[in-house]
Amino acid sequence: MKVTRPTKDAKNFPFNGKRLSLSLVVLVGSLANFYAPISRIAVAQKPIGTGASRVVSADEARYIELSQQAEETDHQEANRLQPTSAGVSGQTQQQSGRIVSSGKAFDPTKMESYLKQELTKEGAVGFSYAIVQSGQLVKSGAQGWARASWEGKPLNPDPNAQKQPSVMLTATKRMTVASISKPITAVAVMKLVEQKKLSLDDKFYPLIKNKFPLAGKGVENVTIRQLLTHTSGLKAGVGCSNLPGLLSQGTSGNSYNYENSNFCLLREVIEKVSGQNYVNYVQSEILSKMTIGDMSCQPDVNNPTLYYNTSKTLGKLWGDYSDTCSAYGWYASATDLAKFLAYIRYHKVLSKPTTDQMLSEGLGWKKTIGTRGTYYQHGGDWIASENKGFTGVIMHFPDNIDAVVLVNTRGDFNKTTLLKNAYEAAFK
């Protein structure tokens, strides 16, 4: 069997690959500040109850809708590329999606090489990635720019993002993760379910009726489960900027329709049930338990990551999305999200039955079928003017493999298919 060497950051990763009791590590050395506790994040979160109050321009609303559509299109395209019933050579796929015989061992170097080769070929300005095997960070890295060399270098930091210094991308550099925020919210909801403070079959509207007193026909029957699975039947295209208006229009049945608004309503539920602001609740009850101290819904104060197309043009800046990050807008690094996946796999925040239910029922997660079984994932896309923006995906694979890829460049590639193919290439 191939023995893999952990990445240089592995000693600071929460799990030891040899001991799956998976105790927390003591943080030492120069990376200690990177894993700073939540209380040290210098951000001012809004108090509970503010909801989606930020004014959204017509242009921004249009690009948010396009981004939402792009994420769903990528998922559907990835699922159209189904493997044969026999899977790859030497493997037999069970009905459950798991593999009976596996052939060659997983080689993270091959997976890493595939990602680098394909994203370089696609002209990505910058990308980062992290690969976890059996709870151990075995590969992580980045290539290209967080802020490209052609952005300019003023003598003093300038609040105009396009004039701040160039910065190379690293695996620990944060960027917006767009709709990858939805699995984070799903874990927060499932935590409340596990604590019996909430049921998936609870009707959501009675919980927030005092804040949103007007609701159209059918809204009172929508459940938490339906919000998590985008089967609420709430009107498409309204988004998160006008929740009162959305609720007043009622529902149109329970057919599937991928909509950010479902997860902005879950934010309201989390705040009501927990008694905390959504961001504060996620940071204290979910992320801090995962030893993740650097995630927030606001960009870096100094030299935040910019977002590009494949031409050498000035980057765009994604701003403060504290009001909507239950659906889109968390900021995280590749290694942050790798830890998020590892803690989910080894049931350190949610129990195994709760985790299995969340994944198998698609509660805030999506399923993609590959040659090695069922892959649980969620992607994110942000599209700005001139096709600049972000794309990325997290995936929970069979074989105890988890992986993340984040790209600060919009291109003509499908990030879900890219990461799926990279994983499968690691067995060839």
Spell out the per-residue pLDDT of the chain, length 428, in tens.
343 444 555 544 555 443 333 332 222 222 232 233 222 223 333 344 444 445 566 666 666 777 777 667 766 776 665 443 333 333 333 333 343 345 689 999 999 999 999 999 999 999 999 999 999 999 999 999 999 988 865 545 555 555 567 899 999 999 999 999 999 999 999 999 999 999 999 999 999 999 999 999 999 999 999 999 999 999 988 989 999 999 999 998 878 999 999 999 999 999 999 999 999 999 999 999 999 999 999 999 989 999 999 988 889 999 999 999 999 999 999 999 999 999 999 999 999 999 999 999 999 999 999 999 999 999 999 998 889 999 999 999 999 999 999 999 998 889 999 999 999 999 99
**Residue 46: what pLDDT?**
38
What's the pLDDT tens digit per position in 28-70?
A: 222 232 233 222 223 333 344 444 445 566 666 666 777 777 6
What's the pLDDT tens digit per position in 245-275?
A: 999 999 988 789 999 999 999 999 999 999 9
> Which tokens sit at 138?
């075995």
Q: Give the relative orientation of helices 260-274 and 181-194 as an angle to the nearest 10 degrees.
A: 40
